[in-house]
Structure 1
Amino acid sequence: MPRYMWFIISVIALLVGYFVYGRIVERIFGPNPARSTPAKTKSDGVDYVAMPKWKLWLIQLLNIAGVGPVFGPILGAVYGPTALLWIVFGTIFAGAVHDYFSGMLSVRYGGANVPDVVGYNLGKIAKNGMRVFATILLLLVGVVFATAPAGLLAKLSVGHFDGVMTFGAWLGVIFAYYFLATIIPIDKIIGRIYPIFGALLLIMAIGVTIGLFVEMPENFYSWATFEHNTHPNDLPIFPLVFITIACGALSGFHSTQSPLMARCVENESEGRMVFYGAMVAEGFIGLVWCTVGMTFYPDAQALLSAGGPAVVVNDSCVALLGGFGGLLAILGVVILPVTSGDTAFRAARLTIADVVHLPQIKPMKRLVIAIPVFLIGIALSQIDFNIIWRYFGFSNQTLAGICLWSAAAYLYRKDKFHWICTLPASFITVVSVSYICFEKTMGFGLDISTSNIIGVVVAVICLVSLLKFGKKPVEGAPTDV
């Protein structure tokens, strides 16, 4: 069988996952088309604004994508075919499930942010912890998705603008846009231009795929092998590949974005397309760029030495699609992070507003929260990017685990088949704990075997706790969801 069939089979698997497993997940949750959604019961013209599902799907895709399904899979490709398996199976059985429940539980809880969703299912302590954790993650995401495009734009500006548009200048422009998009009604900028950018994201992925089939059909996965770890530095596949490839398979950041669209969904029956479907589309994008890494370059060392994911995107797009590809590359590595960074700050504003009970209908009350949030974000942008990224990667998957445990508790309490959430929650708990134990710079620097054992033990403790205490009602949680 030619190796390009790996790609075709993977795409088919993602589609089957959406139409088959996605429907199973939907049936277990039980959407109620007759139930009024927050877009109708809380309509305010700012954050609660009903929009058609096709537009919500494209906006959700762009909100959750960022550079995650591009940069992560490119970095993860050096580990070989395991990266492909994680993207496909992780998307179907973990990432899309996570996104569906984080979105639909927010719908059921009146458009609640992730800390409240977690608190209603895991208790007040978890809720308060998540308020801090989610806010920090959103700030990290906003900063990461500001400094990355600012750096690229500064390089592209060399020789232009008479040297005026430096990294700092571009960073200022991006933060200014973030501030504007954070405080104005969601349908004024995000609702109008994001569907266009979402379509461009898909066009770029499809165009690159066609280019691979036309230009190098014999090169597909030429050096990929299941027989041994292909990473040039022999870094352990587990847990690193599952942290490296986050947004292309499973990402806790998505749970902070899903409530934005949960407040705009007109009918609960739209949830599978908007939430599960957007994650499947992101899985496809991740699959494309992981394939580029294992096809466009002759070996793992060449990919690792290419100069970073942004260079890989630029070189592959230009080589496969010419000048048009170069334009797509710039759009991809600039627009993608920008269109996730602004919604990260928007979500941070709304999360803090929930904590301090400050309504966000009036512009002045939005500014009261937005101004200090952006001052903190600007301060964080002065810290080394690599340090920020490491903390983002770990906290991202840890948040995914917490949200999956929350969804599992919701199903368990209602005597529904909770294992669709419990199993991926257990898996990513092992990954996150093992990673922080093993990581040398920000973690405990333990050996990989010990780290994995600790990860398994922590996951088992979480599982036993769910089965033993999960039936108990949570004080203050709505009972009609």
Structure 2
Amino acid sequence: MFTFLISIAVLIIGYFVYSKVVEHIFGINDQNKTPAYTNKEGIDYSPMPWWKASLIQLLNIAGLGPIFGAVAGALYGPVAFIWIVVGCLIAGAVHDYFSGMLSLRHNGAQFPSLVGRYLGNNMKIVINFVSIVLMILVAAAFTAGPAQLIASLTPLSFSFALALIFVYFLVAAVLPVNRIIGRIYPIFGAILIFMAVSIGVALLFTENPIPNLTLENLHPGELPIWPLLMVTISCGAISGFHSTQSPILARTIKRESDGRKVFYGAMVAEGIIALIWAAAGMTFFGSTGGLQEALAVGGPAGVVNEISTSFLGALGGILAILGVIILPITTGDTALRSSRMMVSELVEKFFKVRGLKGVLLATIPVTIPTIWLATIDYTFLWRYVGGTNQLVATVMLWTAAMYLLESRKFHWICGIPALFMTGVVSTYFLYAPEGFSLAYERSLAIGGGITLLVAVWYVYKIRKAHLQVTNGAASQNIA
């Protein structure tokens, strides 16, 4: 229990201390007008109070991610606590802050546009495709589960439940951000927080003690911690999906100083939620072996329902059902909205179509494949979401590092976690079944080699930037 409580304390202290360091390095200026005012058009650009934006951001980036992912990551044991805390403060929250604030500074630009600005057009083309695919995968994955649960609890068929969800998706993706998202989502965000806090308090009084820190890998299937833990627990530690969601709120922020509370703060809140559910997974079933058996029988949804109803009674059952139905739907909704916003930029650029017509034109090509994917195996979808998600996170961190390097600021704050995630992603795709499925030792060797090559490129960019500064100073002295 001591490790669990210390972990929560470190996350809270980290928000009040490290977030200010990150904010100082970025350099805010509340005299700058934000896109919510300069681009105000009543659909995506609309000023919103920071507390409301924070709750919406939390719901957008969280959904079931910090619950299902943390429960699955709990199979590795208390070492998951380290990854959640360090990953959240040093990588994930930094990632979210820069993805939101860079969007804000670049007129509410979407993630691929930021990549193109700092990593080049070739990378922009690649990441545009990858990001839209990720959004479609997330929307599909977070739709199939709720539709199945609705079908099991009501007389409705799976197909009809799926159709109802997608009708809502289409309406929510097209309507102005303040109509549905701005009014209802803060309430759902509060429910997510209440559910996590209730489980956290109940954990303190359970018969089974929350395990304290050990670096031993307790996974019953003997799966390696590196890099699988870093992909299994993404929401709550670092998730590239967040970089596609942050621009939605970057277009609503009133002042630049609100960014720390909205982007960094929401990520820390998600980290706390992930800690609570990881602890619940390790504790409730007595061992990681017991947790694995429960996951095999009922899946993550069954585990969440069993823990909730056991700890909180009827209220827990209601919250579990709300969580497993509403939270993924809200994540799928904003994933579809985000992909629509990305396609809208392309529609506006190539077809010169703007306004509501452009929004409708951009919604169709992302909705059709999402509907089809929602009908196939959920496990298959989720495997591909994990790797793609962390690839996007890595690219966002490199984008932020290049921005800081270009701005002559302390770029290591993004560069070091970017290198770490490069190693994670490289090794994962080499080792994972959905990747090249190589032997573990070979994956480590090749992944390490790729990371070293990227490190050499990083050093080259640093030296190049320093030479430009030196040459510029020399020219001024001559003049």
Q: 1:254 aligned to 237, 242, 246, which one?
A: 242
Q: 2:404 aligned to 407, 411, 423, which one?
A: 411
1:85 aligns with 2:82: yes
Question: Could you tell me whether the CA contact under 8 Å between 1:409 and 1:466 is conserved in 2?
Answer: no
Q: Deviations over 1:287-320 (max 9, x none)?
A: 0000000111111111011121111111111111
TM-score (norm 2): 0.93
Hey, what's the Cα distance between the residues in 2 that align with 1:139 and 1:472?
37
Hey, what's the Cα distance between the residues in 2 that align with 1:32 and 1:462?
33
Question: Could you tell me whether the CA contact under 8 Å between 2:54 and 2:265 is conserved in 1?
Answer: yes
Which region of structure 1 is more displaced relative to structure 2, 72-81 or 384-393?
Answer: 384-393
Which region of structure 1 is more displaced relative to structure 2, 447-456 or 67-76?
Answer: 447-456
Hey, what's the Cα distance between the residues in 1 that align with 2:327 and 2:419?
30
SS in structure 2 of the partner of residue 215 of structure 1: coil
Which region of structure 1 is more displaced relative to structure 2, 205-214 or 67-76?
Answer: 205-214
Hey, what's the Cα distance between the residues in 1 that align with 2:137 and 2:73?
21
Return the offset for 1:461: 1.7
Sequence identity percentage: 47
Return the offset for 1:383: 2.6
1:108 aligns with 2:105: yes
Return the offset for 1:172: 1.1
Alignment match, 1:270: 258
Letter in 2 for 1:20: V
Q: Deviations over 1:204-223 (max 9, x none)?
A: 0001111112333x5212xx
1:174 aligns with 2:165: yes
Which region of structure 1 is more displaced relative to structure 2, 37-46 or 360-369?
Answer: 360-369
Alignment match, 1:443: 435
Alignment match, 1:479: none
Instruction: Report the CA distance shift for 1:117/1:392 in structure 2 as closer, same or farther (over 3 A).
Output: same
Q: Deviations over 1:233-273 (max 9, x none)?
A: 10111111110001121000000000000000111111100
Q: Deviations over 1:117-160 (max 9, x none)?
A: 11111111111111111111110111011112112222223xxx
Hey, what's the Cα distance between the residues in 1 that align with 2:17 and 2:213?
29
SS in structure 1 of the partner of residue 205 of structure 2: helix
Alignment match, 2:418: 425
Question: Could you tell me whether the CA contact under 8 Å between 2:147 and 2:158 is conserved in 1?
Answer: yes
Instruction: Report the CA distance shift for 1:23/1:398 in structure 2 as closer, same or farther (over 3 A).
Output: same
Alignment match, 2:192: 201
Alignment match, 1:478: none
Alignment match, 1:344: 335
Alignment match, 1:138: 135
Question: Could you tell me whether the CA contact under 8 Å between 2:347 and 2:358 is conserved in 1?
Answer: no
RMSD: 1.5
Q: 1:324 aligned to 278, 297, 315, which one?
A: 315
Runs of at least 5 residues in structure 1 that lack an aligned partner in the other structure: 474-481
TM-score (norm 1): 0.93
Return the offset for 1:361: 6.0
Hey, what's the Cα distance between the residues in 2 that align with 1:467 and 1:29?
21
Paired positions, count: 460
Q: Deviations over 1:18-49 (max 9, x none)?
A: 01111101100001111111001100010000
Residue correspondence of structure 1 range 208-223 to structure 2 within 5 A: 208-216=199-207, 218-221=208-211
Q: Deviations over 1:62-101 (max 9, x none)?
A: 0000211000000000101111110111100000000000
Alignment match, 2:469: none
Q: 1:245 aligned to 225, 230, 233, which one?
A: 233
Hey, what's the Cα distance between the residues in 2 that align with 1:321 and 1:383?
34
Alignment match, 1:49: 46
Alignment match, 1:226: 214
SS in structure 2 of the partner of residue 214 of structure 1: coil
1:118 aligns with 2:108: no
Which region of structure 1 is more displaced relative to structure 2, 422-431 or 363-372?
Answer: 363-372
Instruction: Report the CA distance shift for 1:359/1:299 in structure 2 as closer, same or farther (over 3 A).
Output: farther
Residue correspondence of structure 1 range 55-70 to structure 2 within 5 A: 55-70=52-67
Return the offset for 1:353: 1.1
Return the offset for 1:437: 0.5
Hey, what's the Cα distance between the residues in 2 that align with 1:100 and 1:360?
31
Instruction: Report the CA distance shift for 1:199/1:468 in structure 2 as closer, same or farther (over 3 A).
Output: same
Return the offset for 1:374: 1.0
Alignment match, 1:388: 381
Q: Deviations over 1:183-235 (max 9, x none)?
A: 0100000000000000000000001111112333x5212xx662532111101
Runs of at least 5 residues in structure 2 that lack an aligned partner in the other structure: 467-479
Which region of structure 1 is more displaced relative to structure 2, 227-236 or 291-300?
Answer: 227-236
Return the offset for 1:472: 6.4
Alignment match, 2:175: 184
Letter in 1 for 2:69: G
Letter in 1 for 2:240: G
Q: Deviations over 1:401-450 (max 9, x none)?
A: 0000010011111221111101111111111110110113x111211122
